[in-house]
Structure 1
């Protein structure tokens, strides 16, 4: 307690004593014993009141022991089951949970990972993929204090960032308990097949196959590609210890429309232990046409390149970018969709022709657009001509129902440059994104779609979406989400189909380990998303006629069904709405491919390199006690004592208030009783 506070308390006691004695002994009359009682009561009330005003405080220091966190992540992928190590892994987890020394030294958190990371509940070892980098990334952001990542895994990652590369960028020791046989056997395998998802009828499509060999002798193998039972390609490959990798490039003909499945086989070695990875399947959808898109601009801008990249990521699209001075209105019928970027007076003839043809379009307007020309040339929207600029951020309209679209993180995207002022839009309009200006949400549209007189138009009121594409890549390490977003807008603008109440979103084919997800959107009679509906999907295998019915789960503004339980084959399906006559159907194919069966032993060398580079350690499950002892003896991971100082009041306000009220009340009633009041 500060000296100043002590002096104030003493002074308060002196003042209270002086006032009470002055009132009842110096000026007071009557009996001495009675005055002594009154002065004591007055002293207590005055002193308590002064203490409340002074509020004496002291500095209190508390000490807590903080243990480092041992974050144990267990590989829950199917490869652990294939390696016949389920019981060993479960036994290891149990021993760590029951280890008294570890629990005294660490706060132990348990996780399981496959495609995603989750708190350890129960291990099933049926996840179709394993993302080993995911727990390392998550731990680095979740744990702010000292932590130790311990991964129980075979080291064979089939999804996500290379964990060896990610670990090298972190200053954090990583520990591994390797699951599976660490012996390296002689083996040939197909590492990767690179092929486009789509091919065009009567053309040839490129295929790239990467194969590798583990061993120290020279081997000759035959690489064969089959379409059904028919061999369509063959090549002899020579492997050795020095030349242990081959890249094979060739072309295959696309001679019929539809989904074509191919099998790649690499003849096995004599006594080869793992022959599963000698075979891989891939698929190609052969199409007979390609949608042509023209981006017509008034001036060069980075958005033009971003749009072209995003649209052409779908091989069903062909994009041409051209200046308005080079585009002829008579060329409009040659294109399925026109994207008009910042239209000025040079677009007048083009708009006249578009209006005559009632052609769908996607329009991007901002500060360089000529709104006087636009207001006169078209009837979809009207806007005053202005050169003032607003920086606007997107705000998602969760009630958007024109087509299925997920939230790709619009709220975190950089602002666009938009022309100041509101816009009037005609037709059947559905707003996807509203403007957020200076942190204030508005009802002004930033991105909307509309239908008028049977014609569709997408309207974006801002430029700078190249920054959105860059931000999406930073957040997801891929352009895929943003490109899919643009593809959905283009697909809507190109389509002339009638707006249905039940719409589906699915792929024509899936790979076995990819995950089969069917999405649906259902709207009411007013075309507003109906989140009260009950949707179910019935799936039928066309070969076995076996049917499976699954309820669809509500997700934001759409319904979703996860069909990962299905085996490879071709399926047709129907989505129905309970209590309604509405339904929609489709067909998809699952191409057989199990990524988790590609390795029959632990990736020992990679696990060891990763651990050594991070100053950690790796050992096998059978030697787990040695790793546990190493952790217990490591001086980097010892509990630390932390102190926290806080100011604590010395007085109890309620108690002092009680003393004040009680002493004053007793004094008053006593004086009243004795006729002094």
Structure 2
């Protein structure tokens, strides 16, 4: 207790005695014995009131021993069982848990990992992917202030995520190598590059990357087959100095619809793993192309970005034309993009009333546009404003997920209030200065069969660049513009049921179907019951699964399907609406592609982190290394905290009791 607090306590005692004395003894001639009792009760009551106000405290020192941590990371992927290392892994875990000296020095925390890190409960060795980098990074985030050592039990073969080879951390990592470290002769088809779409009777490119590991010169044959028939073949030569080759060819699209192909490289003599010699791919062949007219009043970077984005889907062709400079025929196109239109567009708007995207900006003539009855009016002043996007998850016109619109750079436009006079749905609204203004940034306008969209702002090329920086690919942004084109490029009656699914799935990939169902007014219907029916074309086995409602779409995940060809049907209960399609599941298992452990990468990881590499039969040496490492020691942490001398509620109860007792005594003796 501090000396000043002690002084306050003494003062409180003296004051309470003085006040009680004044009340019961001062100028009192007769002083019966009961007065002494009342004096004592009053003095104690006043003293405890003072104690309650002073709240005296004293320091409490507590000590805590903090051990360094050993994180035990166990590879729970399929490759561990492929190498028949299950028993060795169990022995390693048991040896580390059973070592008393290690557990006395360290706090051992076991984890398992495949694509993500989880606390070790049980090992199944069924994970379809391995992300070693993510496992290490997650452990380091969990214990940022602890002295940490990591035992990494794995074959070193990573199938997803960032490369762990050059991972840098202040914490030591001790890899324990599982699997066969012997080098075998192997040839593998590492990558296929193919366009997703082609046109009937057109040629589409196929590029294959083939890699060889071995000490001899060998030859092999690369083949592409379609419906069991060879459509391309080429003989290849490999040697220790020529370990990789790229094969490029073009194939002809002769049949409409989704066409399945298989690429393969012939087996080498004595090759141990042949599962990486095959890859399947598919191409959707179409017999028509959507032509889009991008008509602008000015030159702007947005034009090139829109053209590249829309043409990322090979079903679409974009022509850029400058108003009053280039010639064009409107009837040659199925969809239109009018970029920053002005009064020179009058003839175009007189002929076109639907199926267009209008993009405004600082050069747009809104005084002219407001006179055309397009469903939007805007009074502008000679001032510019910028706004970012706010995503509306209640948008129902078509299925569009949030691709990170809020993180995209702001768009620039003239300042003015926007009034939409047609039936509309707002996909993106304007966010100005961090506040949602309620003004539309991207909206659809509908009137009967007439569908239009308006984007209020220029600079969409920055969105495409920002999307690439975020995802390292243009796919999400191009899918966004693709949805707009798909919505506007047809004046046919829209389907009430839309289904999204891939045409080909690797055996280890999650199979997910998503569906978007609307009522007769084309509004999303969350009351519907959708069912997926999948039929194996060879065995005729049927799987029926219900869709689950998730946000503004229906989704279902399918598991346990064997490789093969399948057809599917999506139906709506109590409705005649159905959608049909087909897909293939290949035998490709990414965890099957490795014939030996990646000892070299694990050794570099240990070197970068100042750790040391061990083999599965050297666990005792690893434990001895950790036990003798003087960098790891227990830290004693002292914590000083203040504690009340007496808890306030006890003091309050005592004060109430003393005052009550005093009152009853005075009442009894008639002194009130």
TM-score (norm 1): 0.89
Question: Hey, what does 1:39 align to over in structure 2?
Answer: 39
Distance across 2 between alignment mates of 1:643 and 1:385: 67
Question: Hey, what does 1:56 align to over in structure 2?
Answer: 56
One of 465, 473, 478 as aligned partner of 1:483: 478
Contact 1:573 1:586 in 2 (8 A): yes
Distance across 1 between alignment mates of 2:149 and 2:428: 43
- Relative distance call for 1:153 and 1:529 in structure 2 (3 A) is farther
Distance across 1 between alignment mates of 2:385 and 2:97: 57
Question: Hey, what does 1:84 align to over in structure 2?
Answer: 84
Contact 2:380 2:415 in 1 (8 A): no
Question: Hey, what does 1:65 align to over in structure 2?
Answer: 65
Question: Hey, what does 1:261 align to over in structure 2?
Answer: 260
Deviation at 1:595, TM superposition (A): 2.1
**Structure 1 SS opposite 2:617:** helix
Contact 1:204 1:251 in 2 (8 A): yes
One of 417, 424, 428 as aligned partner of 2:419: 424
Question: Hey, what does 1:75 align to over in structure 2?
Answer: 75
Question: Hey, what does 2:554 align to over in structure 1?
Answer: 559
Q: How many residues align?
A: 671
The superposition leaves residues 339-372 of structure 1 with CA deviations (integer Å, 9 ceiling, x where unpaired) of: 23333334333323322xx3x1122234543221
- Relative distance call for 1:326 and 1:590 in structure 2 (3 A) is farther
One of 356, 363, 366 as aligned partner of 2:358: 363
- Relative distance call for 1:538 and 1:376 in structure 2 (3 A) is same
1:522 lines up with 2:517 in the alignment: yes
**Structure 2 SS opposite 1:163:** coil
- Relative distance call for 1:122 and 1:542 in structure 2 (3 A) is same
**Structure 2 SS opposite 1:256:** coil
Deviation at 1:519, TM superposition (A): 0.6
1:215 lines up with 2:210 in the alignment: no
Distance across 2 between alignment mates of 1:667 and 1:248: 104
Deviation at 1:164, TM superposition (A): 1.9
The superposition leaves residues 81-135 of structure 1 with CA deviations (integer Å, 9 ceiling, x where unpaired) of: 3223334334544555555555544445444443444444544333333333332
Question: Hey, what does 1:375 align to over in structure 2?
Answer: 370
Q: How does 1:16-415 map to 2 (within 5 A)?
A: 16-31=16-31, 33-93=33-93, 95-96=95-96, 100-146=100-146, 147-165=148-166, 167-168=167-168, 170-328=169-327, 330-355=328-353, 358=354, 360-415=355-410
Contact 1:367 1:387 in 2 (8 A): no
Question: Hey, what does 1:549 align to over in structure 2?
Answer: 544
Question: Hey, what does 1:627 align to over in structure 2?
Answer: 622
Distance across 2 between alignment mates of 1:475 and 1:447: 21
TM-score (norm 2): 0.90
One of 651, 655, 664 as aligned partner of 2:659: 664
- For structure 1, the 5+ residue unaligned runs are none
Contact 1:226 1:262 in 2 (8 A): yes
- Relative distance call for 1:664 and 1:132 in structure 2 (3 A) is same
The superposition leaves residues 156-189 of structure 1 with CA deviations (integer Å, 9 ceiling, x where unpaired) of: 2222322224x14x55443333321111112222
Distance across 2 between alignment mates of 1:104 and 1:309: 62
Distance across 1 between alignment mates of 2:268 and 2:59: 76
Question: Hey, what does 1:434 align to over in structure 2?
Answer: 429
Greater displacement, 460-469 / 502-511: 460-469
- Relative distance call for 1:639 and 1:19 in structure 2 (3 A) is same
Contact 2:500 2:513 in 1 (8 A): yes
Greater displacement, 61-70 / 378-387: 61-70
1:15 lines up with 2:15 in the alignment: yes
- Relative distance call for 1:70 and 1:320 in structure 2 (3 A) is farther
Contact 1:175 1:618 in 2 (8 A): yes
**Structure 2 SS opposite 1:315:** coil
- Relative distance call for 1:347 and 1:85 in structure 2 (3 A) is farther
- Relative distance call for 1:91 and 1:543 in structure 2 (3 A) is same
Distance across 2 between alignment mates of 1:483 and 1:505: 16
Deviation at 1:557, TM superposition (A): 1.6
Contact 1:69 1:106 in 2 (8 A): yes
Deviation at 1:321, TM superposition (A): 4.0
**Structure 1 SS opposite 2:370:** helix
- Relative distance call for 1:75 and 1:385 in structure 2 (3 A) is same
- For structure 2, the 5+ residue unaligned runs are none
Deviation at 1:539, TM superposition (A): 0.8
**Structure 2 SS opposite 1:385:** strand
**Structure 2 SS opposite 1:307:** helix
**Structure 2 SS opposite 1:26:** coil
Distance across 2 between alignment mates of 1:624 and 1:75: 16
The superposition leaves residues 175-211 of structure 1 with CA deviations (integer Å, 9 ceiling, x where unpaired) of: 3333211111122222222222223333333222222
One of 468, 481, 488 as aligned partner of 1:493: 488
**Structure 1 SS opposite 2:144:** coil
Superposed structure 1 runs of 4+ greater than 6 Å apart:
none
Distance across 2 between alignment mates of 1:432 and 1:445: 8
Contact 2:571 2:579 in 1 (8 A): yes
- Relative distance call for 1:525 and 1:316 in structure 2 (3 A) is closer
Distance across 2 between alignment mates of 1:412 and 1:61: 49
- Relative distance call for 1:334 and 1:639 in structure 2 (3 A) is farther
The superposition leaves residues 557-601 of structure 1 with CA deviations (integer Å, 9 ceiling, x where unpaired) of: 212122343333332211123344443222233344332221122
Deviation at 1:537, TM superposition (A): 0.4
Distance across 2 between alignment mates of 1:318 and 1:70: 58
Q: How does 1:621-660 map to 2 (within 5 A)?
A: 621-660=616-655
Distance across 1 between alignment mates of 2:596 and 2:417: 63
Deviation at 1:454, TM superposition (A): 0.8
Deviation at 1:607, TM superposition (A): 1.9
